[in-house]
Amino acid sequence: MKPVIALVGRPNVGKSTLFNRLTRSRDALVADLPGLTRDRHYGEGRVGERPFLVIDTGGFEPVAKEGIMYEMAKQTKQAVAEADVVVFIVDGRQGLTPHDKTITDFLRKAGRQVMLVVNKAEGMKYTSVTADFYELGLGDPYVISAAHGDGVVDLVNESLDIAFAQRAPEPETEAAAGRGVKIAIVGRPNVGKSTLVNTLLGEDRVIAFDMPGTTRDSIEIPFEREGKHYTLIDTAGIRRRGKVFEAIEKFSVVKTLQSISEANVVLLLLDAQQDISEQDAHIAGFVLESGRALVVGVNKWDGLDADKRDAIKMDMERKLSFLFFAKFHFISALKGSGIGPLMKSIDSAYAAAMAKLSTPRLTRALIEAVEHQQPRRKGSIRPKLRYAHQGGQNPPIVVIHGNALDAIDDSYKRYLEKHFRETFSLVGTPLRIELRSSK
């Protein structure tokens, strides 16, 4: 499971600067897809071989009792509760403020592991920039410059060490490891996730696995359908949520992100009887950025008349056009209808995500694509695409080698993606194209 680092601090200390540095988007294409809502507060980062999730908690007003500040404080509290490590940022140029003290009190009560970080420290002496902050009683501060990058890698490595040190060894549930397709069911509250899990596993199974565990556990539940093995990733605890608990914590972005990152295929569940919401689009955005294979289940399809169904389909097509690569299934988790075809799409999305694409076949497909449509010149330069090889699976990455590939624009990149997708029948998985110029 990826460790979770939460960035906390009052406004303007440099949280989003640090967040951006840590999560620098790898895939610029994702950024411009129409209709896609990206949540700038949650992201994935990596130092060396170590991946992690990072949360920017935004502004922080622990004292507010209502309104938007109250909502933000609630979000912050949830993020802090779910993080492995809290990185508490203060401003080295401004020095200690009363607000910093309030936040310290809050963090102390929350009982999380806190790293105190003095930002904006470029060009300053450790002793002078940190002197003020010992008063907080959080030990020796770390010193960074988020803007320049000084100290950031060390900070992350330290925080990951702390995160791993605190973790109990991961429970290997049965023979779950490595068994079949790993599926994460995600969606906003009330779309029908637990109902679908019940339908997939059968009531008995749900009860059998309904054992107590901490909120941090990621549980893998193996199940079988039509002779095939699958593993359900239940980080969010959907299977254990009875009616009693429903009101408490219906949705956790962190757990959703963790489920996604551990799955091979994500099943995004939507509610046909409600409009597509901002939250649906956010979750879809997370899936897309993760690169995982995707199947969309439009649930609660029972009890809708034909006109209504057409209207819903049109609305989905418009709002979720960026999920063009995924299969949509119209199902009823409650009645159990449409589940067979849905599972078939999960199988084929997995197969596409894990496809092995040989260098000769990829190169042939590349040459075909270029013959059919050349990349545009940029000034006097015409990019030259020479050969392609596979750089990864789940998602498949096609690495294209050539000259002057910097001159290739996004629309040509999309054209190539489409061509590879069609040539190799890759339905249900994102496909990444990476360009590598030899000069």
Q: Tell me the two tokens of residue 116.
A: 């105190």
Q: How far is the CB of 427 from ligand GDP (least distance, A)?
A: 24
Indicate the burial class of 100 (C-beta count within 10 angstroms; 0-12, 13-18, 19 or more): buried
Using the minimum distance from each CB to ligand GDP, give the nearer residue, 146 or 408.
146
DSSP per position, 279-346: HHHHHHHHHHHHT-EEEEEEE--TT--HHHHHHHHHHHHHHTGGGTTSEEEE-BTTTTBTHHHHHHHH
Is the distance from CB of 116 to CB of 141 less than 8 angstroms? yes
Residue placing its CB nearer to ligand GDP in the complex, 194 or 429:
194
Secondary structure (3-state) at 386: strand
Nearest distance in Å: CB 321, ligand GDP: 24
Q: Considering the complex, state which of residue 122 and residue 158 has its C-beta at the smaller distance from ligand GDP.
A: 122
Minimal distance, residue 332 CB to ligand GDP, in Å: 4
Q: Which is nearer to ligand GDP, 9 or 285 (CB)?
A: 9
Quote the least distance from Cβ 291 to ligand GDP, whole Å. 24
Q: For residue 359, report the phi and psi dihedrals to the nearest 5 degrees.
A: -60, -45
Displacement of CA 417 from its chain's centroid (Å): 22
Binding-site members for GTP are 9-16, 56-60, 119-122, 187-194, 234-238, 299-302
Cα radius of gyration (the chain) = 24
CB of 365 closer than 8 Å to CB of 388: yes
Q: Identify which of residues 206 and 388 has a Cβ nearer to ligand GDP in the complex.
A: 206
CB 329 → ligand GDP: shortest distance, Å?
A: 12
User: Exposure of 229 by Cβ count < 10 A (0-12 exposed, 13-18 middle, 19+ buried)?
Assistant: middle
Q: Which residues of the shown chain bind ligand GDP in the complex (CB under 6 A)?
A: 9, 11-17, 119-120, 122, 145-148, 187, 189-195, 238, 299-300, 302-303, 332-334
Contact between 256 and 236 under an 8 Å Cβ cutoff? The reply is yes
Q: Which is nearer to ligand GDP, 119 or 258 (CB)?
A: 119
Q: How far is the CB of 196 from ligand GDP (least distance, A)?
A: 7
